[in-house]
Chains A and B, each alone.
Chain A
Amino acid sequence: MNDTKKHNEEEVKLMKGNEAIAHAAIRCGCDGYFGYPITPQSEIMETMMELEPWNTTGMVVLQAESETASINMVYGAAGCGKKAMTSSSSPGISLMQEGLSYLAGAELPAVVVNVMRGGPGLGTIQPSQADYFQTVKGGGHGDYKLITLAPASVQEMADHTVLAFDLAFKYRVTAMVLADGIIGQMMEKVVLPPYQPRMTEAEIAERCPWATLGKPASRKPNVINSLQLLAEEMEEVNLRLQGRYREIEKNEVRYEEFQCEDAEYLVVAFGTMARVCQKAVEMARAEGIKVGLLRPITLYPFPVDRICHYSHTTKGMLTVEMNAGQMVEDVRLASCGRVPVEHFGRLGGIVPSPDEVLEALKTKIINR
């Protein structure tokens, strides 16, 4: 554990977003990572294999035979009350939808990272944000939600990994870190989180009394299960889940604002696009256009109230997304038709540049 002490110094490092996730997971006491290689996120598992955390924290890292196996390994580990995670990119996440639904049905805490690439199909390995719908509107079968964090920097890749575990265990849900290829592949400065010890079995038994650790004589068997054949019982599970989602919506909305105080127009963007839009806002301000940027950090729960607020104070909104217009639907819902809400995006792995965004703001909103 000499390494632990060394790593604990708060040091600014330069690394890729994918690498930051791997480091952060090990440091926050993750018990198990199960994954399958896919570009542009393979550095997550590669970094873990390089760091060999099984020799330091005791964390298990396993390359599975498929994304299907990965997510079900996460289910098995989470069922034991362990901090378990997987990561993939869009096509692999599609393959995991079954497991995500089962995790929700079995009320298990888990962390999944999606470093999005362009689709549909095998698509491209270039960055995309086209899995917004899949992530925040379900994806798998049944009524369930994933807490969705949208990092916009390498620092947030690390921070959101830690936060995702905290939220997952707080609410017994899956938390998705929804990044894109750029945040995964780019290098920036990052301060890694401090080491936390992994939970002991006694701590798990106390924090997660539902966990399958082996049944002591003192309690009834624990059964991790999503099967309820009686409709009345299935409804009860659903109502419990919905209650939890309402709590999440009340407590966990996160967003960041840039130059919104006097904004006449609002740009809404997440992840990499929020970074590009910030530059576009700077350019617009230099031209005297009063525009602000709202960056949802949680895509679910969505900052509905904040958007609603700006629908009273601005003249129009533009969402900028690397997709054909997905989050724009939530912005429209939240703004209740009070102001025009338009979408600008590029598809299939193309990243809009700041001047394209500024141009779209002018043509689609300001001079419409």
Chain B
Amino acid sequence: MKEEIIIAGFGGQGVLSMGKILAYSGLMQGQEVSWMPSYGPEQRGGTANVTVILSDERISSPVLNTYDTAIVLNQPSLERFESKVKPGGTLIFDGNGFHKFPTRTDINVYRIDATEYANANDSAKTMNMIILGGLLKVRPIVLVENVLNGLKKSLPERHHHLLTVNEKAIHIGMDLIKKVN
């Protein structure tokens, strides 16, 4: 098993931490993992992205040109990464603020309106967990149980009371994600 994922959006949308949670989940599942952020000032409000690779074997290049799965959370990220999804791969987008939508037909395109849901339910902080839930519904690359174990490991103990909220968010995401092509 090897899954090469790009997650991209605005800084502040939790792109890097979503990647981190995914990487920790892979670690919990005994996989090889790499988490490679676009780093720098663009993290503050500009476009941020992170490449996460989960693999059963040693990972060679942490830098990729094409991906099995792309999760795009804003318009510029869709424009940048739609073409980089491997044929047969997966594209997940959060429709909030989009005016142009994915056009490819040789990949599986999913929409998850996590921002809208989070805004309506006053749960902006779990937005990225909702999206992660959506991803796991359509690409079950790690067990939800391992996501929670990974969270437990990466979060300081004072935040452990948030684990149930996050678990709930994952399941909300699983219900929210819809195939659009």
Chain A residues packing against B (C-beta within 8 Å)? 12, 14, 39-40, 125-126, 181-182, 185-189, 272, 275-280, 282, 351, 353-356
Contact = CB atoms under 8 A, between A and B. Distances in A.
B81 interface: no
Interface in B95-145: none
B20 A187 contact: yes
The 9 closest A-B pairs by CB, nearest first: A279-B61, A353-B65, A278-B60, A187-B35, A279-B60, A186-B36, A276-B61, A185-B39, A351-B63
Contact of A355 (B35, B36, B65): B65
Contacts of B10: none
Tell me the dominant secondary structure on chain B's binding face. Answer: mixed
A275 B51 CA distance: 15
Nearest to B62: A186
A182 B36 contact: yes
A351 B38 CA distance: 11
Contact of B40 (A39, A188, A355): A39
A355 B27 CA distance: 28
Nearest to B39: A185
Contacts, number: 70
Contacts of A187: 20, 23, 33-36
Contacts of B59: 188, 275
Nearest to A351: B63
Given A188-B33, A189-B32, A125 B63 contact: no
A125 B37 CA distance: 13
Interface of B: 20, 23-24, 27, 32-37, 39-41, 59-66, 154
Given A278-B61, A353-B63, A355-B65, A185 B33 contact: no
B32 A354 contact: no
Contacts of B36: 182, 185-187
A228 B154 CA distance: 55
B37 A186 contact: yes
B163 to A, nearest CB: 18
Nearest to B35: A187
B48 to A, nearest CB: 12
B64 to A, nearest CB: 7
Interface centre among A40, A181, A188 (most CB of B within 10 A): A188
B87 to A, nearest CB: 15
B23 A14 contact: yes
22 contacts: A12-B27, A14-B23, A14-B27, A14-B35, A181-B39, A182-B36, A182-B63, A186-B35, A186-B36, A187-B34, A188-B34, A188-B62, A272-B62, A275-B59, A275-B60, A275-B62, A276-B60, A276-B63, A277-B61, A282-B60, A354-B61, A355-B65
A39 B154 CA distance: 24
B156 to A, nearest CB: 12
A187 B40 CA distance: 16
A276 B24 CA distance: 23
A186 B23 CA distance: 11
Contacts of A12: 27
Contact of B39 (A125, A277, A356): A125
A9 B63 CA distance: 32
A187 B32 CA distance: 11
Nearest to A117: B40
Given A12-B27, A14-B24, A14-B27, A185 B61 contact: no
A351 B23 CA distance: 22
Contacts of A14: 23-24, 27, 33, 35, 154
Given A189-B27, A278-B61, A354-B64, A126 B40 contact: yes
Interface centre among B37, B59, B60, B64 (most CB of A within 10 A): B60
B121 to A, nearest CB: 31
Contacts of A278: 60-61
Contacts of B66: 355
Given A14-B27, A39-B39, 7 more contacts: A186-B35, A187-B23, A272-B63, A275-B59, A275-B61, A278-B61, A279-B60
A187 B23 CA distance: 8
A126 to B, nearest CB: 7
A20 to B, nearest CB: 13
B140 to A, nearest CB: 21
A294 B122 CA distance: 54
A125 B59 CA distance: 25
